[in-house]
Structure 1
């Protein structure tokens, strides 16, 4: 199974546990996740964004302070802005916060339910699935020389034919290098691969 297929399978699995949605921030570095996924209702997502709740969210504060799992109902972090109550008022009545990984590349996620608390078995499965997501989205430490050259050509604005000529290879070989770079960086497009390579400081 390719990394992209495995990521999608894990997300589908997690969706089944979260009838009212989830948020997953993978490998948070410099305050921004390298990848993020969320399935919260549009109304709540908009409210959360408009009110800049991310800066004051007790689940995020908890996620940076420790690793493991914690039901929202027993979160040992103050919530002076009543964000969790606001979430409950929008149908996200029960929640689970999960945190994995080292501080410099932390994965933080929340899963929600509208009818009941998450069971211990569910928490165990969710945690294991998130840990696997964290592992398979670990940024590569390097790119091959061929992958770097191909991405640099794109960054410099070269079209495929011109880039292939510059590198002394066929256009199909050049395209193959771009595909391998996208796969290594788990990017859907070449533009996304280029962006990630820059973010990971691989170019």
Structure 2
């Protein structure tokens, strides 16, 4: 996995194409993305959640049905709940959805503007950036034995000194293991690393 700085750089690049906001769901597994980012206006985000649109959204349905990109104006998926019309009323007038990856770990992203359709050249650049974000956030296939031992100690509630003693290493060596596992899982905190390790089924 890549560093948070690399991910943020990709998101900044995507944000330039979507002045009305975006949703980026990376590696959707078991109906939830491993990482998600969204910059839509708060009123639309709240309206979307309040109405349970995630299970009815034609852009999400399209993203699970195929890969590539599609302007919202050309989506071949029915929209019986008029979600796209509601989106337009909230300033998301023109949009694009991009889907990439295997169905077992699909990345689905949507980008919105209020002024015009995205050009073909812009779509190509967006697709390339989404593919890059998908690739650099691919979860690791495994953790080292040392990394697993360190995370299990934390999961059991051990403090650093106690965990180090249990493993027969110095406290600084134990902290180094935690740093390495945070980097491997692209986590900001040890708690986040532990949660991701569980989600990725690495423990």
Deviation at 1:162, TM superposition (A): 0.5
Q: Distance in 2 between matches of 1:16 and 1:36?
A: 18
Quote the residue 2:165 is aligned against.
165
Quote the residue 1:137 is aligned against.
137
What TM-score comes out, normalization by structure 2 length?
A: 0.98
Aligned residues: 202
Deviation at 1:172, TM superposition (A): 1.0
Within the alignment, does 1:148 sit opposite 2:174 as a pair?
A: no
**What CA deviation, in whole Å up to 9, does each residue of 1:77-132 have, x standing for no partner?**
00000000000000000000000000000000000011000000110000000000
**What CA deviation, in whole Å up to 9, does each residue of 1:37-58 have, x standing for no partner?**
0000000000000001000000
Quote the residue 2:189 is aligned against.
189
**Mapping of residues 22-171 of structure 1, within 5 Å:** 22-171=22-171
Deviation at 1:22, TM superposition (A): 0.1
Quote the residue 1:20 is aligned against.
20
What TM-score comes out, normalization by structure 1 length?
A: 0.98
Quote the residue 2:180 is aligned against.
180
Poorly superposed stretches of 4+, deviation over 2 Å: none
Q: Distance in 2 between matches of 1:44 and 1:171?
A: 48
The structure with higher relative contact order (CA 8 Å, sep 6+) is 2
Deviation at 1:137, TM superposition (A): 0.5
Deviation at 1:5, TM superposition (A): 1.1
Secondary structure at the counterpart of residue 188 of structure 1? coil
Q: Tell me the C-alpha RMSD between the 2 structures.
A: 0.6
Structure 2, gaps ≥5 residues long:
none
Deviation at 1:73, TM superposition (A): 0.3
